[in-house]
Structure 1
Amino acid sequence: MQTETLMKFHVRTLLSSAALLGLGAASMSAQALDYSGYFRGGPGATKSGTARACYHLNEGAGNGIAHGLNYRLGNECDIYGEFQIDQKYVKDGIEYSGTIMVNHYSNSTDQNGSGFNFEQLFAEAKGFDVMPEATFWIGKTRGRRGDVHIVDWFFTDMKGVGAGVKGIGVGSGKLGFAWYKTDGDQTKPGNRLNVEVLGLNSNENGKANLFFTATKGQFDGGTGGFGASLRHDQSKLFGTGLSNTFWLQVATGSASLESNFGDLTRKSSAKSLRIVESINWQSGAFGGQAIALLGSSEDNDGKKTTASTLGGRVSYGLSKNFKMVAEAGVSQYKPEGGESARLTKVTIAPTLSINSDFWSRPELRLYVTSGKWNKAAGNVTGQAGFADKTSGTSYGAQVEWWF
């Protein structure tokens, strides 16, 4: 009952916020209200008759170096949605925009979960005479700059509460910088500075993007950190319809590889390195995405953890609205002095969609997923019924929709 009341309150809050945005801009010229979002959900079960199960390696291993190792098709045991409203208008030559995004998460099929939370809440403006081409912003924002969809991970994710400016012309690219503050734990506040240069011409059909991060824990025992990432985007790879994205990322101390805060007590001797290669293609009815990842991290004591994955998802359109989709991946991580934790996951999913392309959404899927892991990986499902097992089969249905 409390959960239902809380959810109703959050929904009313969202609708009220949207109404205020619209009323506040009613007298402005060139106004526009945009709505976008994403959601996924559906029922699932296992061959063994236990509760629905998904197969994931421990992403927290090695100070997060194991992020990006888990393949999502037929392997998401949650219900998740995010819904965004943008109000845009122009006044006296200045372009203003206010954004509200709420999200909801539930780790089961029940009608409960985290309620609705404000994932983004920020304002931005462009056209000031001091710097006409730049966009100034303040608030809570994601700052996401690239993901690999099949593993559901953003490898640059500058989310948080902050203020900054972006879109400053630098050669062929755009410069941006921002200051973020973390104080959810008021005994361990921290500051973060992010600098980015986006869209630098690097080669024919190629763009380079640079990201730099500096962090500092503002408390007794708090540490500093630094991170740097290169992301290269290439279209028409080798003159084909392939496109690829390559990341080279390093971080030390309290900075994370994702250009965000890490552990604000990690010493400067702690460091991480990650290389990611992702390709995408669509050739006629055949489309897909693949990833290869190598990572290494050392903790405060110099203990190393390595991680790797290789996998992909393919789709083949059998008609305009029906396609067969399959996904497979092999992932592992190994702490120094310990055994390698290994997981292999395979999914087959007959799918209905608006057309047969890999990226077309919404998708209505049936799926069967098989997972196999070793003892060192532990119970990768988190379900008590799998405590002494090293394999499992799940099946179910899922909708995925972005709009």
Structure 2
Amino acid sequence: MSSKLTRRPLAIAVAIALLGPSTSVMADQNQTLEQRLAELEARVAASERRAEQAQQRAERAEAALADSREQSADQDALEARVAQIEARDSENPPPPPPSDEGLSMSAYARSGLLLDDHLKSAPGGPYLTPAGRSGGSVGRLGNEPDTYVETVFDYRQNYENGAKSRYRVMLADGNTSLNDWTADESQLNVRQVYAEFSDLPTFTGAFEGASIWAGKRFDRDNFDIHWLDSDVVFLAGTGAGIYDVALGDNATTNLSLYGRSFSDYPVVTSDAPDLQGSTDNLILTSNNFFGDWQWMVSGMSANDNDARDNDSRDNVVGTGAADKGFHTMAAYHGDSFFGLREGTTVAALLYGHGLGAEVKAMGSDGNLLEQADTARLALNGTTYIAPHWRIAPTLLAQTSKDRYASGDSYNWATLSARLANELTENFEMQYEGSYQWMDLDPKGYEGLNDVEGGYTRLTVAPTFKPMVGGFWNRPEIRFFVTWSDWDSDLNNFTQTDALGSDDFTGSEWTFGTQMEIWF
């Protein structure tokens, strides 16, 4: 390299002499060429350094690869499990990614046979037990006798000014008939129809990232415990609202007003005993998010609902149905399994008074007393306990008093767990155990009797999938066998439910098949 540099200035001088320019011009040109030459040499040296660094990186990568090949044979499975955990949704089955514009569709459906040991359709459902009347559900695996389908259509538009709009309509139907034609049993319903606007250029400041909506809908931030088919909180109705108003760094609030109808109830009056009344329950909500934490507070008003009459409430003195209420919830949505390992956590504590004492399906029950109180605790987690084993344990508990009759009480707790073993790419074994304790004292409301006892359900379900892995990977085709048992006292709660009926008094075996899909 040094000999080349020595010869280059001499060659340059000879070339300049042959061209015959003036001395000053020649000097300037010589200086310019020397500068360019120096810059070129610097670039060559830098390129050589980069090549040397690249070679060193390649050597380190090869060494790391050699080390990784010496790790255990389970490494690939462990990496796949980590990828599955990272890809899953935190609480709910993941919705499909929305298309940027145009028409899209999503759906949920389940359908199957649930048979008893006499090869007849068996009673079932997560709300089968006496506690189900106040929201106490049990595990759903091998416990659903219905066909239910819901389909959502979205139409999205983008505008030249950057604004976006979405129109949504949701259709749903469900029944327990096994026939192919079920028009007589159909409950086809439009459950949602609304419009939502976002990215509006005139929204600035705290409203810059906000979206507004109006119509009939499920609130965007409802969340559930899938394994029990139970919402933790479910806010829905017809109204309007605004999402994602900024409160500060990593803090937002949603504001909404929903209406629900209380219709066709008997009214207290001496001169017109058959008079029917109706009213609307208005629910004003502030739903606030601070990182992983959520705080929800709602007030309710149903004008004239206190005129509601109910013969089953004869023992109530000086009080009637509520015409207002209060509801609040504190919740945590975590990205680890209770801080112990990789996974997810959902924890929520709810309280409601008056019309707010229906703490899950907010504002939906017009029969609640004005002094009704309810508190609910929900805990749910998901995690892999081994490369091919996943588990989702759940605790759901509620206590309620003065709910429908003065002095009544509805107390229950459900402990459940869904366990799955991924055996091949297309097959896994699922297991579910569920136990519910209840102590119910309705004080004669609607002819119900006080009972106390426990309900147990165990299910084994061989399951086929196009591809196993993750908690929310669907579709599935399951075959199942279920054993359920309960204390005999629960058969006395009422004569109108399944428990205590012929051939359904305890220690029951059921079996069947079911498909479940969402996309």
Using the size of structure 1 for normalisation, the TM-score is: 0.85
Q: In 2 relative to 1, CA 75–239 (structure 1 residues): closer, same or farther, beyond 3 Å?
A: closer
Tell me, yes or no, if structure 1 residue 165 matches structure 2 residue 281: no
Matching residue of 1:242: 343
Residue 73 of structure 2 is matched in structure 1 by: none
Q: Deviations over 1:133-170 (max 9, x none)?
A: 11100111111521111100111110111111111112
Residues of 1 paired with 2:407 and 2:211: CA distance? 42
Instruction: Give the stretch that moved more between structures: 295-304 or 240-249.
Output: 295-304
Q: Residues 202-217 of structure 1 correspond to what in structure 2 (within 5 A)?
A: 207-217=292-302
Distance change >3 Å, CA 139–CA 49, structure 1 → 2? same
Structure exhibiting the larger radius of gyration computed from Cα positions: 2
Rounded Cα–Cα distance in structure 2 between residues aligned with 1:377 and 1:135? 48
Judging changes above 3 Å, is the alpha-carbon distance between structure 1 residues 174 and 341 closer, same or farther for their aligned structure 2 residues? same
**In structure 1, what is the Cα distance between the partners aligned to 2:145 and 2:367?**
33
Structure number with the bigger relative contact order (C-alpha 8 A, sep ≥ 6) is 1
**Residue in 1 that maps onto 2:156:** 88
Q: Which residue of 2 aligns with 1:99?
A: 168
Report the Cα offset of residue 265 of structure 1: 5.0
Match of 1:50 in 2: 120
Q: 1:386 to 1:176 in 2, by over 3 A?
A: same
Secondary structure of 2:342's aligned partner: coil
**2:121 partner amino acid:** A
Whether 1:116 aligns to 2:188 is yes
Alignment partner of 1:290 is 2:367: no
Answer yes or no: is the 8 Å Cα contact 1:54–1:394 preserved in 2: no
Residue 264 of structure 1 and its aligned partner are, at CA, apart by 3.3
Deviation at 1:395, TM superposition (A): 0.8
The whole-number CA distance in structure 1 between the counterparts of 2:131 and 2:165 is 39
Change (3 A) 1:89 1:359: same
Q: Does the 8 Å contact 2:257/2:284 carry over to 1?
A: yes
Alignment of 1:217-232 (within 5 A): 217-219=302-304, 221=306, 222-232=322-332
How many angstroms does 1:369 deviate by? 0.9
SS in 2 for 1:386: coil
Task: Flag structure 2 segments of 5+ consecutive residues without an equivalent.
Answer: 1-99, 264-276, 307-321, 444-449
CA distance in 1, matches of 2:499, 2:178: 16
1:15-34 equivalence runs, <5 A: 31-34=101-104
Distance 1:257 1:121 in 2: 24
Answer 1 or 2: which has greater helix percent: 2
Give the direction of change, closer, same or farther, for the CA distance of 1:398–1:48 in structure 2 (3 Å limit): same
Are the equivalent residues in 2 in contact too, given 1:166–1:175 (CA < 8 A)?
yes
- Deviation per CA, 1:296-343: give whole Å up to 9, x if none: 101251322211111111000111110000101000221248431421
The answer as to whether partners of 2:461 and 2:481 remain within 8 angstroms in 1 is: yes
Alpha-carbon distance, 1:220 to partner? 5.3
Q: Tell me the CA shift for residue 383 of structure 1.
A: 8.8
SS for the counterpart of 2:137 is coil
Deviates most, 314-323 or 121-130: 121-130
5+ residue gaps, structure 1: 1-29, 202-206
Amino acid of the structure 1 residue aligned with 2:378: V
Which residue does the alignment assign to 2:490? 377
Q: Which of 108, 112, 117 does residue 38 from structure 1 map onto?
A: 108
Q: CA deviation at 1:184?
A: 5.5
Quote the sequence identity (%). Answer: 21
Tell me what 1:349 maps to.
461
Contact 1:96 1:124 survives alignment (8 Å):
yes
SS of aligned partner of 2:144: coil
What are the within-5 Å matches in structure 2 for residues 139-154 of structure 1?
Answer: 139-143=215-219, 144-154=221-231
Are 1:398 and 2:514 counterparts? yes
Q: Who is 1:251 aligned against?
A: 352
Say if 2:262 and 2:281, in contact at 8 Å, map to a contact too.
Answer: no
Equivalents in 1 of 2:413, 2:506: separation in Å?
A: 20
Q: CA RMSD in A?
A: 2.1
Residue 218 of structure 1: SS of its match in structure 2?
coil
SS in 2 for 1:381: coil
The 3 A distance-change label for structure 1 pair 59 and 117 is farther
What is the CA distance between 1:115 and its match in structure 2? Answer: 4.4
Letter in structure 2 aligned against 1:189: D
Residues 334 and 345 in structure 2, CA contact (< 8 A), matched pair in contact too = yes
Contact 1:37 1:84 (8 Å CA) reproduced: yes
The amino acid of 1:229's aligned partner reads M
**Structure 2 counterpart of 1:52, which letter?**
A
CA distance in 1, matches of 2:121, 2:361: 37
3-state DSSP class of the match of 2:480?
strand
2:258 aligns to what? 180
**Cα distance in 1 for residues equivalent to 2:293 and 2:430:** 32
Retained in 2: the 8 A contact 1:368–1:394?
yes
SS in 1 for 2:406: coil
Q: Is the 8 A contact 1:213 1:259 kept in 2?
A: no
Amino acid at match of 2:374: S
Deviates more, 1:131-140 or 1:330-339: 330-339
Q: Given the alignment of the two structures, is residue 233 of structure 1 paired with residue 333 of structure 2, yes or no?
A: yes
Q: Is the 8 A contact 1:270 1:302 kept in 2?
A: no
Residues 341 and 383 in structure 2, CA contact (< 8 A), matched pair in contact too: no
Flag the 1:135–1:68 CA change in 2: closer, same or farther, 3 A: farther
Q: Are residue 359 (structure 1) and residue 457 (structure 2) matched?
A: no
1:45–1:267: structure 2 CA closer, same or farther, 3 Å change rule?
closer
Deviates more, 1:42-51 or 1:121-130: 42-51
Q: Aligned residue pairs: how many? A: 363
Is contact 2:490-2:499 (8 Å) kept? no
Go from structure 1 to structure 2 and tell me whether the alpha carbon gap of 1:217 and 1:115 turns closer, same or farther (over 3 Å shift): closer
* Counterpart in the other structure of 1:14: none
Does the C-alpha gap of structure 1 residues 89 and 383 become closer, same or farther in structure 2, counting only changes over 3 Å? farther
Q: 1:271 aligns with which of 373, 378, 398?
A: 373
